[in-house]
Amino acid sequence: MIAFLGTGLLGAGFVRAFRRRGEEVHVWNRSPDKARALSEVGATPFETASEAVRGAARVHLALVDDAIVDSVLAQAQAGLSPGTTIVDHTTTAPAPTAERVRRWIDRGFVFQHAPVFMGPQNALAGTGTMLASGDRAQFDTVAPALEKMTGTLVYLGDDPARAASVKLLGNLFLIATTAGVADMFMLAKSLGVPPAQVSRVFEWFNPGTMVPARAARMREAQFAEPSWTLAMARKDTRLMIESAASNGATLAVMPAIAAAMDRWIAAGHGAEDWMVIGKDAVG
């Protein structure tokens, strides 16, 4: 039997997938209605976390943050059997994650942090990517179960904090990219470009294909032979900000990037590739 604590969008998707595979699943959520709703697919809701985990061979969590993970585990502890496997899919901070893993292993449990790059539909379909790190022998025991939950399971080494770190990296890029798209729509709105035409830009020009090569150049500090100089990129950034402002619009992301560019230009890097603004991050 599996217990799942935290049946929001992601957790509910996982529970529904477990039920499709014929697994017996006990569920609990801080908002009880979300757990009760899963009775329609045959999951059994419980009023307390300790009741939900009693008798479970494996307990999964999909919660909000470190504080809530610790609080829910404290509530559940009375119902846990020694040696139970605990799998936490919550996006948490690296240092508290490592401490949590060690603490629960010291208490006699298997504890695997396994954050995901997955949405609710991925959880339901068993697609997307799941990350894991920590003791290799422990990972190997739980990996067969995790592989059924995702399209790709990535083991990142024995550092128990590494999966948490890499999850934050991926989310940072997603947030930064989305904020950049929002700035695109804001600039387009200020210039009278219809949203449908903004979306079609990605049919004609797909910057996503450039990301791996740009990341490699930044990692290797290849700034001396520019494909786009920092000075020219800064000029274009100025045009974006000024064009938006002239029509009463404010961009969210570009002013911060412009400020970083200005610092590097002042330090004498204007003729180098514009990716030099990331030099300190990889040096």
Model confidence pLDDT, tens digit, residues 75-102: 999 999 999 999 999 999 999 999 999 9
**What is the rounded distance in angstroms from the CA atom of residue 275 to the CA atom of residue 277?**
5
Contact (CB, 8 A) for 86 and 104: yes
Model confidence pLDDT, tens digit, residues 254-269: 999 999 999 999 999 9
**What is the rounded distance in angstroms from the CA atom of residue 52 to the CA atom of residue 133?**
26
- pLDDT score at 255: 97
Cite the beta strand spans of the chain per DSSP E.
Answer: 2-5, 25-28, 44-45, 58-61, 85-88, 110-113, 116-117, 129-132, 152-155
Report yes or no on whether pTM surpasses 0.85: yes
- pLDDT score at 208: 84
Model confidence pLDDT, tens digit, residues 165-190: 999 999 999 999 999 999 999 999 99
Question: In whole numbers, what is the pLDDT of the chain averaged over residues?
Answer: 96
**What is the rounded distance in angstroms from the CA atom of residue 37 to the CA atom of residue 189?**
41
Domains observed in the chain: 2-160 (3.40.50.720), 195-282 (1.10.1040.10)
CB neighbour class for 246 (10 Å; exposed up to 12, middle 13-18, buried from 19): exposed
